[in-house]
Every structure is written in C-alpha cells, then in structure tokens.
Chain A
C-alpha cells in the first residue's frame, strides 16, 4: 500500500484532479451563474404583457430548471466530492492545511450548499404550484446562496496562490487560523471574484443556449429568438470586463510568478517553461471564437440555432475553462500554497531540516517495510521519487522522467539532481520546481532509481520495487 503517494501511472495524479476539477468547474460555475439566470428570466416573464408569450417563456424555464437541477444537483455535487477524494490522496499535506486553516470557511460553505440543494429542488417542484411571487423569492434565495458559495471558495482558492504576508508571518506557529480573514481576503481575492463571477454568468448563458437550441424554431420562432438572444447577452459582461480583470489579477500576483507568463513570449525551451504563455494564447483565441460563434450563429440567426451549434460553444467554453484552470495551477508553481508549501508538499521552512536529516527520516508518510532489513538504495530512491517528484511527474507518461532524463547517464542524472538541490535563483528550474531536498545519500538514491529506469540494463529493471521483505 503506497498511500498517500497516490501512484497513477501514465497520466499522473495531478491530471486526475485536473479532469475532475474542470468537469466540476463547468457545472459549479453554472450553478452560480444559472442561479442568477433563472430568477431573472422568471421575473422578465412575469413582467411580460402578452400572457401567451409569458406562458411560453415560463414553460421553457420549467424545462431549463429541470436540466439545471439534474446537472448541478447530481453531477455538480458528485464531482465536488470527487475533488475532495482526489486532492486528499494527491496532496494530503496541502489538503490538511486548507482544512485546518479554513475550518469555519468550509462550515459556512457547506451550510450554503445545503441551502442551494434544498431551494433548487423546491424551486423546480413548485412551478405553478405556489404563488408566482413566492416562487420567484425561492429562486432569489437559491441565487444568494449560490453566490455565497462562490464568495467563500474564492477566498480559499486565491489563498493558495497568494496567501498574503500576514498569514505567511504566522504560518507554522499553530496560530494560522487566527489570521483567517487575512488569508481569506488575500491580494488576488477581489480580481479573482469578479473574474469568476464573469465566467459564471457566461456559463449561465452558454448552458441556457443548450436548452434554448432544443426549442422548435419552426413552431415557436418568437420564443426561440427571444430565449437564444437573451441567453447570448449573458456572455457580454464577462467578455467586456475579462481583459481588464485579468490585468488586475496578474498585477496582484507576485512578480516572480507573473514572470512565468512572459517567459513563454520569447522561448519555447523545455516546453514547460512557456506553458503559461501558450495556455494564455489558447484562452485568447478560443474566447474570441466563442464571441464570434455566439454572435453569428446564435444572436444573428436564433431560429436556425441548433443543438450542434450550442454544443460547439459549450466545447469551446470547456477548452477555455480547462485552459484557464490549468494556467492558474501553473502560475502557482513551484508552490501548492504560495511561499509556504511546495507543489510536492514540502513546507518551505522545513527544507534545511530535510537536508540535514534526510528526506525519508523526516517524511511523514514513508513506509519503513520490514524493520529488520535495510531498504536498498533503489527502493529508497523510489520512495523519494514518489514523495518529491510524483505529484508532477510520471515515469513514462505525463512529464515523463524517462523522456526528460533521456540521453543522460548516471553522472548526468546525479548532476541534474544536484542542480535541483542547490536551487540557485538563476537556475531556470528555480521558478517552476521545488528544490530537491535531502542528504547526499538521498540524491544518490534518487539518481540510482532514475538511472535504473532511464538506462535500463539488458536484464531489466532492478527489483524489489520497495523495501526487502
């Protein structure tokens, strides 16, 4: 059992979180934006003078709210729990910090989740059964609760990128939770909140285009035009404000991390170095495409707008969301919690201790196997690899060590590890990767392990994989 080093071959554990998270974000942000869309659309219908048109709008909203209930209430919640499983297994240290630091934040979040889940069910099942004004009020209660969930989770997510000086000042003293509000309202809190709100309203419009596209344009052209065009308008605030909000956001990010964005402008060296820039380009091109497609296919030709068109916009939105979340993760490198915890779970102030006493000696999660037998250098190296490298690298898939270390012999691999250990400020890896912590013996062990895989002898890889039994 190798818990908590959750070894996912080929794609790496990071991608497991990534895939669940991107799926979740597409739905959870719809849950917030769509929560605003529903009561606003209902209010619009209630104010319509022509009862026939109002009824048509309302019956469309009934089917949209059913879609909303199933998507957010089932897939949104299940994937949200999935993220907890995945991060708990992949980043136990970081997850523990988030839980301990924001325990009341999470409590508030879950209260609002409960209100959300209850009110959206009440909202759907009471269409045409209670007074319209009361029904609308239920919609507004859902909306406020869902916005509250965003307001809270945004504080925790932005904390991971920019924890703020005050929190960093007490980090590791046991008084971190006392600086809850400093950590919560951290430097990137506000720009991120506005950015995410914009994304939420856009997704409300994009998902609503899915249900609107199903209206029969030949039978109900006025309803279809009205719904499609009104839904497209939900994309406008975000697309107007995003460039400015993004600049504000980046302005609040520490300069060292902001440099990751500009690094890719003039180089593609090493691939990873320029990832943030390259991902940013995808976001720009795809966002512009969404604007073009939504305007020409939906707004200008609402009656002909079909499900394939709507799905293509959704697919583009998925690319933008995925790219955006990936870029945000990359921007945090080499930390998982800015300036406090490296992306492999090593706390920044613990580096000297690891270097003096050895990584395995001070690591909380190593398995010591059979206490009577000494593990081999290879198996110690494997444990170090899982602890220090495994959260970002795999042996032969995503960020493959076999590829990255190819053409290096043992000495070359050992020198590379030495460079990562020294972690000099001018090293190109300093901006992206945590230092390799540990003693000289640890570095030898890791080099042995990597060398056995990169320069596999004809007789096959060394065994045993872990400690001798």
Chain B
C-alpha cells in the first residue's frame, strides 16, 4: 500500500464517523461578500488570533506563576531569570491589549455596518458579552504581577464597583478578599483569570463563532441597496481564508515587534503602606469611563456624583447593547440615522475622554 492509499483509507474511516466531507463541501461552497468595506471583516478573526496567542502564552506563564504572597517574586523570575520568560510575558500582555483594541474595532465596524439587525441580534449580544469579559480578563490580569503600579491601579479600579449603592461595598469586599487589596486579592483574581473567566468566555466564543457561521457576513447598508446580481463575492476557500491568515500573520508581526521593542516591564514590589506613586491611572480601555466619572464627580461632588455617574453609564451601555431592538428595520429611515449618530457620538466621546484622561495625567 502506498502512503496515499493509507491516507485515503484513514480519511475515509474518519469521514464515515465525523462527516468531514460534508464540512469540506460546505466550506467549498461558502462565499464571503466582497466590497469596499471588506477590510472590516477581518477584525473578528484578528481578535480570535490574539485570543489564541493569549491562551498559549497564558499556559506557559501558568507553569511558573505562583499566586499569593509569592506573586511578585514569581513574575520577577519569569521576567529576569527564565529563558525568554520576558518574551512570553510581553507577548501575553501586548496581545491582551491588542485583542481589546481589535474587539473594539470589530464592535464599531459591526455597529456601523448595522450587522446587529435581524437575524444577527444574538451575534451582537454575545459579542458585547465577550468584550465585557475581555475587559474583566484585563482587569484581573493586571493585578497578578503585584507590583506597585498594578496594586494601586487595582485599588483605584475597585472603587468603581464599591460605589454601587447598597451592594457595592460587599461586592468590592468579595473581590478583594478583605477590606484592602492583598495577597488574598491576587489569589481571587488569579482564580477569576484562569478558571472562571475562561469557563465563561470559551462557550460564549463558540456560540459567537457558530452564529457567524450560521448567518454569514453581514452586508453594509450601501451593499444591501444593490441588486443581488450586482453584489460581488469571493469564495471562502481559499481566497478569504488566505487573506484572513495573512491578517493573522500581520498581527503576529505587530505583536512580535511590540513585544521585542517594548518589552513589558516590572515595577517595584508593592508596599501597602507606601503612598501611591504619582500618575496612577487605569489601563487605556478603562480610561474613558474613569475620566467620565471624574468629570461627573467634579460637577456633582460627593456620593450624588458617583451615583449619577454610574446611572448614566449603565444607561449608556444598556442603550448601546439594546440597539438591535431600536434599529431593527432594513431601511435607512430616521431610526437608522439616529443609531448612526449615536455610534458617532460614542466614538467621539470614547476618543475624547481617553485623550483628556491621558492629557490630565501628564
């Protein structure tokens, strides 16, 4: 028997049981719309790629990381003693940031392409949930090195849930494992970061990908207006997949450049008794809400400001998430235009408050 016959019979054996031919036939016939906005289709794939990088580097970090009292020392060893430990850690941190950036680009492109409309509402909801989980991933991972910066940033960050009326302090206490950020907090955040969040994230991601597969890529409104015979498509295999993989390769290069040229540093070990260093600020993806709360706090001092800020925030996020119910029809009526302006306001607000946030720190 030649190697080809062996491979064929092996494929036949597996195919009979798993139905690979059906999947292959489906993939062969699958097409993806091709138009001038096609570039935005790749951002979901880029986010997925960066998530896979984090899984891989995260598992490697897990081999040496020790939560609890040893947390800082273990990260110090990873960064300064283990061979290429700094690279794995840098790749993990950079891919986390790049992933949140990619998800945000993906989210806004979905929003402006109006890809949340029927029948893709669940794609939008699950995507929003994935973004929320990604930011919690970021928040919990940020503390794990337990250096000065992460300690104080977490301390400041936990003031947000603590500000929720009635139940806030209890939630903050549960997260902290006590009245203050300590080794217990690291232990809890670690459990959250490597067990709880992945357990929520992975099935949700599977659901999201399944929906993308089920409904296919959405057409932007300008393409929807065209007659079906005027719309162009490209085959998923190999044309779209090849471009998708090329985007992955570009992402890998950007990641390698960032991780190598700007390796993630490690600050001083935290000291709960020392004063907070100057310029403590949250990660860039929390900068916008942080700044908005700060502005509201100035306008309405005291608890009233905090509550008003949280309410306004919750309302804004709720409106954003529920947009498929408001802008549901496939026409460019008043509601579609309002949703579009809402998106523009959101982008401008996000960029402006983030910029102001960084400006005021400096």
Contact = CB atoms under 8 A, between A and B. Distances in A.
Interface of A: 265-269, 271, 274, 278-279, 281-282, 285-286, 289, 292-293, 296-297, 301, 312, 316, 319
Contacts of A296: 242, 245-246
Contacts of B249: 289, 292-293
A296 B239 CA distance: 11
Contacts of A312: 250
Interface of B: 79-87, 90, 242, 245-246, 249-250, 252-253, 256-257, 260-261, 263, 265
Contact of A268 (B83, B246, B257, B263): B263
Nearest to B77: A266
B260 A265 contact: no
B265 A268 contact: yes
A282 B81 contact: no
B46 to A, nearest CB: 15
Contact of B253 (A265, A271, A286): A286
A261 to B, nearest CB: 13
- Main secondary structure on chain B at its contact with chain A? helix
5 contacts: A266-B80, A267-B81, A267-B86, A268-B80, A289-B253
Given A266-B81, A267-B86, A282 B246 contact: no
Given A266-B80, A268-B86, A268-B265, A279 B246 contact: no
B80 A282 contact: no
B130 to A, nearest CB: 28
Given A266-B85, A282-B260, A285-B253, 12 more contacts: A265-B84, A266-B83, A267-B80, A268-B79, A268-B80, A274-B86, A279-B260, A285-B252, A293-B246, A296-B242, A301-B242, A319-B257
A150 B129 CA distance: 59
A306 B86 CA distance: 38
Nearest to B81: A266
A253 to B, nearest CB: 21
A269 B260 contact: no
A281 B83 CA distance: 13
B83 A285 contact: no
Given A269-B80, A289-B249, A282 B85 contact: no
A374 B81 CA distance: 51
Given A266-B82, A274-B263, A293-B246, A281 B87 contact: yes
Nearest to A280: B260
A267 B81 CA distance: 6
Q: Which 7 A-B pairs have the closest CB atoms?
A: A278-B260, A285-B256, A268-B86, A268-B263, A281-B260, A267-B80, A282-B260
Contacts of A271: 263
Contacts of B261: 278, 282
Q: Which of A285, A292, A293 has the most CB of B within 10 A?
A: A285
Nearest to B86: A268
B263 A278 contact: yes
Contacts of A279: 260
B247 to A, nearest CB: 11
A268 B242 CA distance: 36
Contacts of B90: 268
A316 B253 contact: yes
B203 to A, nearest CB: 32
A297 B81 contact: no
A271 to B, nearest CB: 8
A449 to B, nearest CB: 26
Contacts of B263: 268, 271, 274, 278
Nearest to B261: A278
B90 to A, nearest CB: 8
Contacts of B84: 265-266
A86 B203 CA distance: 59
Nearest to B253: A289
A30 B84 CA distance: 35
Contacts of B245: 296
A15 to B, nearest CB: 14
A285 B252 CA distance: 8
Contact of A265 (B83, B250, B252): B83
A111 to B, nearest CB: 41
Contacts of B83: 265-266
Contacts of B81: 266-267
A312 B83 CA distance: 32
B185 to A, nearest CB: 26
A274 B86 CA distance: 11
A360 B287 CA distance: 51
Contacts of A266: 80-86
A293 B250 CA distance: 10
B230 to A, nearest CB: 21
A274 B262 CA distance: 11
Contacts of B87: 281
A308 to B, nearest CB: 11
Nearest to A278: B260
A260 to B, nearest CB: 15
Contact of A281 (B80, B85, B256): B256
B279 to A, nearest CB: 13
B252 A289 contact: yes
Nearest to B256: A285
B87 to A, nearest CB: 7
A299 to B, nearest CB: 13
A33 B335 CA distance: 61
Contacts of B250: 312
A271 B87 CA distance: 13
Contacts of A268: 79-80, 86, 90, 263, 265
Q: Which of B84, B256, B260 has the most CB of A within 10 A?
A: B260
A267 B86 CA distance: 7
Nearest to B87: A281
Contacts of A285: 252-253, 256
Q: Which of A265, A269, A278, A293 has the most CB of B within 10 A?
A: A278
Contacts of A319: 253, 257
A269 B256 CA distance: 19
Nearest to B89: A268
A271 B86 CA distance: 11
Contact of A282 (B82, B86, B242, B256): B256
Contacts of A269: 80
Nearest to B84: A265
Nearest to A267: B80
A279 B242 CA distance: 28
